[in-house]
Amino acid sequence: MWGDYVVRAKVPLAPFTTWKVGGSARWYAEPDPYELPGLLAKAFAQGIPVYYLGRGSNLLVDDDGIDGLVVHCWKSMCSIRRLAENCVEAEAGVPLPKLSRFVADLGCSGYEFLIGIPGTVGGGVVINAGLRSPLRREISDVILEADIVEPDGSLRTLSKEEIGLRYRHSSIINTGSFILRARFTLDDFESGAEHIRRRTAHHLQERRQKQPLNRSTAGSTFKQVRAGPATGWYIEKSGLKGCRVGGAVVSQKHANWIETSPGATAADVRNLIATVEAEVFSRFGVRLVREVGYLPQDLVFRA
């Protein structure tokens, strides 16, 4: 049914996610940028739903797995290059920390905020990845344009304005479109490469002190509350640090992060998320909004 495309059946997805939980993909492929349009067109023609996977962060794969085609770009779309004096191009599977270091080595600043974000360029663009504290910096501050593949396999180039980036959102987040590659601006060469590398390392060290980067997590679980304290404050003041459901636990280091241990299930994580939502609402009347996507329920490309 897949012709010449290399598509495997019943591939476990847990090893490809940062939480290390979840079931298998009915179909699984790692196409290169030239194969992807044709593969998506074939799936589209047969009515097979397609799900995208980068580094497997910021998402939760259901224990029952995914009844569709999972396109994984972690190995086959990892090219990054400088196109011009003021432009760098990165494919969907490039890890955001790699983009940060690549730009730093060019002697350009402004990408330090990406060093501790465990996602890819593709997912980072789709959700406008970034930080709100201590920096307020997002992909929207540096992107120029992106090449996308539509669900039917057609290709388009979207400007920054057409991508419609805002806080953890874009105009293509629920369309099934795939970010093939993106181009970013280089416009601050004042500091020098070595100084930028030191500042990037310092920024990463600060994140390691505040966030459990050495644990199995998916990054921030909930979006930041629009007004008032940070989301982690509400969770911590609700007495939820260390709250556990099965193999999932609210991190003692940062309350907006959930850690998993060996033997954890996706159901453990989902039930813990529901517990946190209910407790915070009960105490503060604040409705937390998930930043983490559920697959297959959320048909959206995640980092």
Asked if 180 and 148 touch (Cβ cutoff 8 Å), the reply is: yes
Could you read off the pLDDT of 216-269 as tens digits, one per residue? 999 899 999 988 899 999 999 999 999 999 999 999 999 999 999 999 999 999
Task: State the DSSP H helix or E strand holding residue 131, giving kind and residue range, or none if neither.
Answer: strand 130-131
Whole-number Cα distances in Å, 257 to 40, 56, 116, 281? 34, 15, 14, 18
Annotation says 291 is catalytic: yes
Neighbours of 180 (CB within 10 A): 21
What's the CA gap between 5 and 7, in Å, rounded? Answer: 6
Our answer to whether residue 168 is catalytic in this structure is yes
pLDDT, one tens digit per residue, over 13-47 is 999 999 999 999 999 999 999 999 999 999 999 99
Structure tokens at 56: 């497997």
Identify the active-site residue in 177, 220, 238, 251.
220
Q: Bridge partners of 184? A: 88, 143
Give tens-digit pLDDT for 80-130: 999 999 999 999 999 999 999 999 999 898 998 898 888 999 999 999 999
Distance from C-alpha of 46 to C-alpha of 26, rounded to nearest angstrom: 15
Task: Specify burial of residue 29 (Cβ count, 10 A radius: 0-12, 13-18, 19+).
Answer: buried
Q: Mark 152-178 as b/e (b = at least 16 C-beta within 10 Å).
A: ebeeeebebeebebeebebebbeebbb
- CB-count exposure of residue 10 (10 Å: 0-12, 13-18, 19+): exposed
Residue-range domains of the chain with CATH: 8-72 (3.30.43.10), 80-209 (3.30.465.10), 212-295 (3.90.78.10)
| CB-facing half-sphere around the CA of 191: CA atoms within 13 A | 21
Q: Taking the CA atoms of the chain, what radius of gyration do you get in angstroms? A: 19
| Active-site pick, 101, 168, 183, 302 | 168
The whole-angstrom distance between residue 30's C-alpha and the CA centroid of its chain comes to 18
Which pTM value belongs to this model?
Answer: 0.90
Active site residue 190: no
Of 91, 100, 291, 302, catalytic:
291
